[in-house]
């Protein structure tokens, strides 16, 4: 057999869940090709010390039926068994979950890449050391302003200094640290300054993209959503800064809004699952559909449900309605079950 | 040669998935690519990989060598492996 006759090239594939797009559609580009998800986004808990105006999850208080530590660990065991390579834990504020570190320990001991999304306010020296020991893929801190006033106007009860201190401490402990910035009418003008600030903090990467019209952001849409003109300037600055920091700091931005994302997902669902604090599994953030329940079903079954759910007429029709009328995005957290 | 931190390899029916979770980029390769990846995972060096593939596949050794260099070059340029 001639090796040249084999398609042995390393071909770059597509997975836009991971924000990578190409025009090609080689085998493996379709989520149906996969034996299990490639990525799990896990909203671990709903409790949060802040009340951000743009929170997608409408986090605040703990949900009464959140998964117990045992259920959460069982979920992690299934992730390891299914050889799922990568997951992200967010909340609420995940560091408020009493078994957060037990879960992280389990995940990392099974060599699963792990990203943590946090407001950073509970990261002191000791916590940063524990995160460093776990060799996380990254810890992502939300920083919504280049100054305290801006950040705290959007992140109610938030403390900009604490978020900044968290970045510094994590970087000093060698944790791969990222900053995420959500543009709104309040802070979009600070994009250039905050990227410079991120670089001065020594973080690995800076992430941003259009605000998602779901959760509390949908309710506050009129006061939050930047104008087209503001977005145009925003992306101009982002382009400049991306070029300026090339090779020094990763500046990443996703140019599509949630409706554009949904249109794309209808054609190409991602090989990923979104798990909410009570163990229900959502199809995708902007839609209200639940395709499984980890308290009652195996993850492998839920993965099959997920594949079927994207072909479900109710899902497709509702998604089309949302695309036509984005106000329906406000229903994204009124969960309803489909296909199981 | 070693895989970079946070690079994950998973076999699927259609081939092998190389997932750089740090850059969140996914690559797909076929059975031969998968074999090279497996040998890298076993800490084999380039001459050893060439030997193994030359004995397993028909074809000119020089051609096989060129293909392997090219493949490993792609792995390096995408930061999948570090030397």
Q: What pLDDT was estimated at residue A58?
A: 83
On the question of pLDDT at A109 being above 80, the answer is: yes
Top pLDDT among A184 and B32 is at A184
Of A8, A12, A38, the CB nearest to B71: A8
On the question of pLDDT at B13 being above 50, the answer is: yes
Distance to chain B for A101, nearest Cα, Å: 19
Q: How far is Cα A298 from Cα A196, in angstroms, rounded to an integer? A: 45
A179-223 confidence digits (pLDDT tens): 999 999 999 999 999 999 999 999 999 999 999 999 999 999 999
Q: Tell me what the mean pLDDT of segment A83-101 comes to.
A: 97
Q: What pLDDT was estimated at residue A18?
A: 28
- Spell out the domains of chain B, with CATH numbers in brackets: 2-82 (1.10.10.1150)
pLDDT interval class at A24 (50, 70, 90): very low
Q: What pLDDT was estimated at residue A2?
A: 35
Q: A24: which DSSP letter?
A: -
State percent of chain A over pLDDT 70: 91
Q: What is the dihedral of CA A148, A149, A154, A156, to 10 degrees?
A: 80
Please list, residue by residue across A108-134, b when 16 or more beta carbons sit within 10 angstroms of its beta carbon and e when fewer do.
beeebbbbbbbbbbebeeebbebbbeb
Element (H, E) at B36: helix B31-41
Mean pLDDT score of chain B: 92
Lowest average pLDDT, out of A25-34, A98-107, A156-165, B33-42, goes to A25-34
Domain boundaries, chain A: 34-337
Q: What pLDDT was estimated at residue A81?
A: 98
Lowest average pLDDT, out of A5-19, A138-152, A292-306, B40-54, goes to A5-19
Q: Tell me what the mean pLDDT of segment A236-253 comes to.
A: 96
From chain A, the residues in CB contact with B75 under 8 A are 10
Q: Which stretches within chain A are classed as H helix?
A: 69-81, 100-109, 125-133, 148-154, 160-172, 191-201, 216-219, 221-224, 228-244, 258-267, 299-309, 313-324
Of B14, B57, B80, the CB nearest to A28: B14
Top pLDDT among A18 and A7 is at A7
From chain B, the residues in CB contact with A3 under 8 A are 32, 53, 57, 59, 63-64, 67
Which CATH code, of 3.65.10.10, 3.40.50.850, 3.20.20.70, 3.90.1640.10, is assigned to A34-337? 3.20.20.70
pLDDT interval class at A315 (50, 70, 90): very high
Residues 99-118 of A with CB under 8 A from B: 113
- Write down the residue that tokens 């802070």 correspond to: A187
pLDDT interval class at A28 (50, 70, 90): confident
Mean pLDDT score of chain A: 91
Q: What pLDDT was estimated at residue A26?
A: 59
From chain B, the residues in CB contact with A88 under 8 A are none
Q: For chain A, give me the number of helices (H) and strands (E)?
A: 12, 14
Q: Tell me what the mean pLDDT of segment A3-27 comes to.
A: 42
Q: What pLDDT was estimated at residue B15?
A: 87
A48-70 confidence digits (pLDDT tens): 999 999 998 887 888 899 999 99
């Amino acid at each position: 057999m001639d090796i040249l006759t084999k398609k042995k090239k390393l071909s770059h594939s597509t997975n836009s869940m991971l924000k990578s797009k190409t025009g090609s559609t080689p085998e493996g580009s379709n989520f149906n090709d996969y034996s299990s998800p490639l990525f799990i986004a896990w909203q671990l808990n709903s409790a949060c010390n802040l009340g951000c105006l743009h929170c997608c999850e409408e986090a605040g208080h703990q949900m009464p039926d959140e998964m117990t530590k045992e259920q959460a660990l069982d979920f992690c065991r299934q992730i390891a068994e299914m050889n799922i390579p990568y997951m992200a834990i967010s909340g609420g504020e995940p560091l408020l979950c009493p078994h957060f570190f037990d879960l992280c320990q389990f995940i990392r001991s099974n060599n699963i890449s792990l990203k943590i999304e946090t407001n950073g306010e509970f990261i002191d020296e000791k916590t940063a050391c524990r995160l460093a020991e776990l060799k996380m893929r990254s810890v992502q801190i939300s920083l919504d302003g280049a100054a305290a006033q801006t950040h705290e106007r959007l992140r109610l009860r938030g403390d900009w200094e604490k978020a900044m201190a968290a970045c510094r401490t994590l970087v000093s402990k060698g944790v791969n640290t990222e900053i995420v910035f959500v543009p709104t009418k309040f802070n979009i003008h600070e994009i250039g300054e905050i990227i410079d600030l991120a670089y001065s903090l020594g973080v690995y990467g800076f992430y941003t993209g259009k605000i998602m019209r779901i959760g509390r952001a949908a309710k506050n849409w009129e006061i939050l959503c930047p104008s087209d003109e503001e977005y145009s300037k925003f992306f101009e600055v982002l382009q400049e800064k991306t070029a300026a920091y090339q090779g020094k700091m990763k500046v990443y931005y996703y140019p599509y809004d949630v409706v554009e994302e949904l249109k794309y997902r209808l054609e190409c669902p991602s090989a990923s699952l979104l798990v909410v604090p009570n163990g229900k599994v959502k199809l995708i953030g902007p839609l209200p559909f639940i395709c499984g329940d980890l308290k009652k079903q195996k993850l492998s079954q839920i993965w099959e449900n997920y594949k079927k759910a994207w072909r479900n007429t109710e899902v497709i029709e509702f998604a089309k309605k949302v695309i036509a009328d984005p106000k329906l995005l406000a229903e994204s957290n009124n969960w309803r079950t489909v296909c199981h | 040669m070693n895989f970079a931190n946070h690079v994950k390899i998973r076999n699927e029916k259609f081939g092998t998935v190389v997932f750089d979770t740090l850059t969140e980029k996914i690559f797909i390769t076929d059975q031969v690519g998968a074999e090279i990846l497996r040998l890298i995972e076993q800490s084999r060096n380039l001459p050893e990989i060439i030997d193994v593939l030359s004995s397993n596949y028909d074809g000119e050794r020089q051609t096989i060598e060129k293909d392997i260099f090219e493949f490993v070059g792609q792995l390096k340029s995408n930061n999948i492996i570090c030397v």
